[in-house]
Structure 1
Amino acid sequence: MAKHRIYSTSFASVYPLYVAKAEKKGRTKAEVDQIITWLTGYDQTQLQARLEKQTDFETFFAEAPQINPSRVLIKGMVCGVRVEDIEEPTMREIRYLDKLIDELARGKAMDKILRKS
């Protein structure tokens, strides 16, 4: 079975869409970056390097320094699919990120988005 095209899409090509979605709802690029670093373990310098390198989604998640174990607390629907039911690991990570950005754009508090309680 062929891989979904999102795997070979550069993270840098989608990142501005995440930022635009957040900013349109009064949130910030810094909050988007905070979500990404929380989920992946990349620090700001590493994240910027990945963006400049045009790293694809599959590599972006495969090489993430420290995938956050609390991500399993992320529940809900993204694109009509429950994130907790996605079996393919890379697609699940991508959808976790999508869900977090959706929550940010909907005005959810950062503590709740980052599953701090």
Structure 2
Amino acid sequence: MARVATTSDVFNAIAEPQRRDILALLRAGERPVTELAEALGMTQPGASKHLRVLREVGLVRDRKAGKQRLYGLDARKLRAVHEWTGGFEAFWNDSFDRLDAYVQDLKAANGKKEE
């Protein structure tokens, strides 16, 4: 099966951890590629490639500011990811509730043994 292009949708684009790191850095505001590369310990060309992918799927916008190009987060396309992951919230809440009940049962059992 052929691999899906990373620029085909947001899910493919954010599958790469370094791209998620870039998005996290951009939450604080616009930054030039050199700052992003330095913060992530990568080369400027490497950061530029990731930014190109993020820009093509609509997660990042860029603008000229003098001699620099600033990159900023455009999180609107993350709504699909948020809605999809939100569907698992009930699953995790139920799992944690069961775990909590189990821990409470263990505590109660241990309390009876000590009496």
TM-score, length-normalised on structure 2?
0.29
Question: Using CA pairs below 8 Å that are at least 6 residues apart, which structure has the higher relative contact order?
Answer: 1
TM-score, length-normalised on structure 1?
0.28
